[in-house]
Amino acid sequence: MPDAIALRGLRKSFGQTVALDGLDLTVATGEVHGFLGPNGAGKSTAIRILLGLLRADGGEARLLGGDPWRDAVALHRRLAYVPGDVVLWPTLSGGEVIDLLSRLRGGLDRRRRDELLERFALDPRRRAGTYSKGNRQKVALVAALAADAELLVLDEPTAGLDPLMDSVFRDCVREVALAGRTVLLSSHVLSEVEALCDRVTIIRSGVAVESGTLRDLRHLRRTVVAAELAGPPGARFTPPPGVHDLAVEPSPDGADGVLLTCEVDQPGLAGLLRALADLDVRALTTRPPTLEELFLRHYDASPNGQARPAPAR
Amino acid sequence: MTVTGRASGGSRPFAGTGRLLRLALRLDRLALALWLLTFVVLAAGVAAALDEYYPLEADRAQFAERARLTPAVLALTGPAVGLERAGGLLAWRIGALCVVLAGLMSIFTLVRHTRVEEETGRLDLVRSTPVGRLAPPAAALLVTAGANAALALALAATLVASGLPAGGSLVFGAAVGAGGLFFAAVAAVTAQLFTSARAAKAMATLLLGLAFLLRAIGDASNPTGAGLSWASPIGWAQRTGAFVHVRWWLFGLLFAAAGALLAVAFVLLVRRDVGSGVLAARLGRERASPRLASVSALGARLHRGGLATWTAGYAVAGAALGAVAHSVADLVSDNPAVRDMLARFGGGTQLVDAYLVAMFNLFGLAAAGYAVAAVWRIRAEEVAGRAEPLLATATGRTRFAASHLWFAFAGPALPLMAVGLATGITHGLRTGDVAGQTGRLLAAALVLLAGVWVFAGLATAAVGLAPRGFLAVWVALVACLLIGQLGPTLRLSQWIMDLSPYTHLPRLPGGESTPTPLVALPAVAVALTAAGLVGLRRRDLQPS
């Protein structure tokens, strides 16, 4: 089966600004593909080229076996799209917008529409002008999910949703995946992509910097550890292998203790915990790194072009 | 860091008004400059024309005598008092029109800085900064009041430059400004009532129209003005008596009424939440009707209200025009200079027909304005981000554009038919030939479509080929309006006159009808439209 999406060396500039600088992206049919990158990385530009809204300056783009610019109308019958910033016609009700968009795509499943409205707790009678950002997002999501489309293109679809609706959204995407449909999910939230996607492409400054399964990207999955100690760790404490960016600072809450922070690879985690056990630990927090931290550490994306090593003592 | 929240919050409700005022001025500087320019050009142009056609007191006295006996003309202008003075004649001629325009300027400006900000959510952003609760509405009111003050001074300066006495000029400018301020206060209340800016503007504009109607009936029934005119704030502004006998207390009445309305708006404002209105928004349909199944159905949904309003407005205006046309011809029949000017406008010898040609030309230009605005919706939907979800469905760009172009090209036929029919019926009733007049005026109105289409084509070309230069289309339309209105008076050279498509149209009713322009102008329109559509298919979607 051909790939649902295949971009090779895609280029696009807006005047002086280079938005895409040779982007490669492959989405296999039937997979949920995460498209991850910080704001302004070029995710939306790539999606707009895929939808035939923008014309690429160079490179190759294939969508569902066709040319996204030339065959736009025919291809759009087979996909559904949720923009990142949903703007609706203020005088139409949410229900009218859902029906209209679905009919323009070629029809909708009424039962599925009503079921989705219920799950997303959306009142379809309210006029779009009175909806909040999250509710406008739900309108676009219901219209897309109720469609019988082969491919769902979702551009940061959860930006305005609360955590409850976020989990409804995740359930819906899982159902879509089980039905064998393809999903391209653009996001800047690592945990969302981790929860939903089979494969991930990470984009920065218009270029794909990583692409693979989540297992392939395991090296990205460090743990951030912060330990509050009664006093400085002293010479006995030697950081085990796999610990990065170790820093020891005076406790920020003004107490007499110190705060030890570091990042640790998965294989080094057990060793670090053993080393910490010998110290007088008052509090310990661990969390996955944020996407911004990943980009700072791995892709040299800080504004001055240099990774910023934390001051170590 | 010290917490200073208490000082910046409730205890200083106007904190930050100055900064918001500067922001509003920065956002509105072009629009307000264009408004002021409109008033200056209008006043200077009419003053020059009146000076040319009624230079002597005797001319004006003769005109005033006839005007007093012509209710239909008084309905469109105002009380016929002091017309034998040059200033009095000018104030009579443009007074009501200026107050209506100042009212529209005030309504649009005030709603843009109050309800529009609230509807778009920008107010939330502003209110999250250390500005007082009342600073945004105060800045909106100040910028609108300032615009009216600037307008008053600009009008006064224009009249003084036209050779009128300074005192009267200032009173006239102040009366227009005070009228504008009153409608700013009306808009301040409607902006509290409705959650949608469109509804707030529509209600305030409706009240403005009602005020005009009240004084039209009042002035038509009594030449020196009485009765219903006293119920209309436009009537008050007109009766302040610039150049004649100043009634200062009417300024007091206007300001007091505006103050009372602002107090109501204030009470409504402090009692409601941000984003809410006093009148709750109605619920819409749960499901789309089966007809809302194509992008053209959506286009119809977006355009139908506006087109219906235009059609109704044209029907009312046409009925009024037909009712006065005969009398206007009478009114100016003794003045050779005016006869000559109208003949140059109309190209015919029949004075009534020449007058109708001149007026229909205005309707044709305004209909072109409707068409340009309808084409602009293509670009507006693109800029707003609403074109994107549509074009991501199985909807091609040409079909998306066509959903609006249909209204730009065929839509203006409805208001033009309405004005042709309405003028024909009322004019026919006065002349005793309803069938004949209706037929020839309907034809005269529909011929104007050829000019409208050229502008629709030009606008389409702009959207497709140079979307960021769309303003040039509006400039071209205003230029054609000025060419058509001032050309005959200023005796502009023919090549300038030829730039306007309307110059080439047959001057109906009454003039000769040649088929060439009726083929050539639509051909130009088709070529421009085709070029625009090709451009639109080829270019990137540009949300900004």
Q: pLDDT tens for residues B399-408? A: 999 999 999 9
Instruction: Give me the mean pLDDT over the B80-98 stretch.
Output: 92
The whole-number pLDDT of residue A309 equals: 38
* B294 at interface of A, judged by CB pairs closer than 8 A: yes
Task: Quote the tokens at residue A43.
Answer: 């995710």
The whole-number pLDDT of residue A289 equals: 72
Contacts of B504 (CB under 8 A, 6+ apart): B498, B517, B520, B521
CB spacing of B395 vs A85 below 8 angstroms: no
Give the confidence band of B163 by pLDDT, cuts at 50, 70, 90. Answer: very high
* B350 at interface of A, judged by CB pairs closer than 8 A: no
Which residue from B284, B292, B301 is facing A127, i.e. has the nearest CB? B284
Which parts of chain A sit beneath pLDDT 50?
Answer: 301-313
Q: What is the location of CATH 3.40.50.300 in chain A?
A: 5-218
The whole-number pLDDT of residue B331 equals: 74
The pLDDT of residue B3 is above 50 = no
Query: Nearest CA of chain A to the CA of B116: how many Å?
Result: 11
Q: Hey, which residues 89-118 in chain A have their CB within 8 Å of chain B?
A: 89-101, 103-106
pLDDT digits (tens, 9 = 90+) for A243-295: 888 888 888 776 678 899 998 888 888 889 888 888 888 889 988 776 666 66
Distance CA B62, CA B64 (A): 5
* B382 at interface of A, judged by CB pairs closer than 8 A: no
Distance CA A113, CA B202 (A): 35
Instruction: Give me the mean pLDDT over the B138-142 stretch.
Output: 95
Task: Quote the tokens at residue A134.
Answer: 């999250």
Domain A221-298: give its CATH code: 3.30.70.260
The whole-number pLDDT of residue A297 equals: 64
Q: Is the overall model pTM greater than 0.90, yes or no?
A: no
How, if at all, do strands A32-36 and A199-204 pair? parallel
CB spacing of A95 vs B294 below 8 angstroms: no
β partners of residue A80: A152
* A124 at interface of B, judged by CB pairs closer than 8 A: yes
Amino acid at B5: G
Q: What is the location of CATH 3.30.70.260 in chain A?
A: 221-298
Distance CA B331, CA B54 (A): 13
Instruction: Give me the mean pLDDT over the B12-36 stretch.
Output: 90
* B293 at interface of A, judged by CB pairs closer than 8 A: yes
Distance CA B346, CA B353 (A): 7
- ipTM score assigned to the predicted complex: 0.80
* B149 at interface of A, judged by CB pairs closer than 8 A: no
Contacts of A276 (CB under 8 A, 6+ apart): A227, A284
* B120 at interface of A, judged by CB pairs closer than 8 A: no
The whole-number pLDDT of residue B360 equals: 92
The whole-number pLDDT of residue A303 equals: 43
At residue B172, the 3 state secondary structure works out as helix
How, if at all, do strands A199-204 and A207-213 pair? antiparallel
Distance CA A47, CA A26 (A): 13
Distance CA B162, CA B450 (A): 37
Give domain A5-218's CATH superfamily. Answer: P-loop containing nucleotide triphosphate hydrolases (3.40.50.300)
Which string of DSSP letters, residue by residue, matches B379-402?
A: HHHHHHT-HHHHHTSS--HHHHHH
Give the confidence band of B43 by pLDDT, cuts at 50, 70, 90. Answer: very high
User: What is the arrangement of strands in the sheet containing A182-187, beginning at the earlier edge strand?
Assistant: A79-82, A151-155, A182-187, A32-36, A199-204, A207-213
Q: Which chain A residues touch B286 with a CB distance below 8 Å? A: 93, 95, 124-125
The whole-number pLDDT of residue A300 equals: 58
Q: Which chain A residues touch B296 with a CB distance below 8 Å? A: none
Q: How far is CA A47 from CA A5, A43, B480, in A?
A: 11, 6, 43
* A17 at interface of B, judged by CB pairs closer than 8 A: no
The whole-number pLDDT of residue B133 equals: 86
CB spacing of A105 vs B394 below 8 angstroms: yes
Q: Which chain A residues touch B396 with a CB distance below 8 Å? A: 72-73
The pLDDT of residue B349 is above 60 = no
